[in-house]
Amino acid sequence: MNDRYVLYALAFSFIFVSAFILLSFSEVKISEDKFTSIYFNTTILEVENNTSNLDGTEIIVKNDSIVIDTLKTYYPGDSFFLDDKGYTLNMLNNDSILLYNYTKKIDDMLYFDFAIENLEGADKNYQYDIYIDGNKLLEGNESIKSNEKRTIQKQIEYKEPGDHRLSVKLNTGAEIYFNFSSVKK
């Protein structure tokens, strides 16, 4: 009687393992999802001999900081403007500098740029809303062809002291955000 149960267990195990092996080798069809990508842009600069270049402006790497045009020193987390475009120094090493294309510490002007990439398989009109601390400040529309991306640059005068959150929301439900500090002079 016990031999019968052993045979049943072996037969079941053989069937289970065989089915698993057959399914493992069968072709799995992965559906191509259509989606929209939204993100804040970053800039990566190469460093050679402790020097880099951003849009024609020389940047010198010194220890844990950068110096722009031998005038001002910036440390990770500091923001600066160059040719009306804002950046925040994220990190640096001997080979590269990583900049966020938005300002995290501001006096009066908040800058950011973000990209919307249409991977939906058809041309699409996107509506976006820009909020600071949940309050809607701006809105816009962008028509983007299939498999293309559009970079949107914005500057907002903002003088409220304290810590804040800027968020960009698309009509697709996608949302991105970053936190920033506004310093009262």
**pLDDT band at 63; cut points 50, 70, 90:** confident
Tell me how many degrees the CA angle 83-85-87 measures, rounded to the nearest 5.
120
Residues 113, 168 within the same domain:
yes
Q: Report yes or no on 51 lying in a domain.
A: yes
Instruction: Give the pLDDT mean for 103-119.
Output: 93
The mean pLDDT of the chain is: 87
Total domains present in the chain? 2
Give the tens place of pLDDT for each residue, 2-44: 666 666 666 666 676 666 665 566 555 545 678 889 999 999 9
Instruction: Count the Cβ atoms, other than its own, within 10 Å of residue 174.
Output: 16
Q: Report yes or no on 24 lying in a domain.
A: no
The domain boundary residue, chosen from 57, 72, 101 = 101
Q: With a cut of 90, say whether residue 75 has pLDDT above it.
A: yes
Residues 114, 171 within the same domain:
yes
Instruction: Give the 3-state secondary structure of 15-41.
Output: HHHHHHHHHHHCCCCCCCCCEEEEEEC
CB of 139 within 8 A of CB of 128? yes
Residues 62, 78 within the same domain:
yes
Q: Which residue has the higher pLDDT, 176 or 84?
A: 176
- The whole domain housing 64 covers 41-101
Q: Report yes or no on 69 lying in a domain.
A: yes
The domain boundary residue, chosen from 58, 83, 101 = 101
Q: What is the pTM of this model?
A: 0.75
> Element (H or E) spanning 112, and its range?
strand 109-119
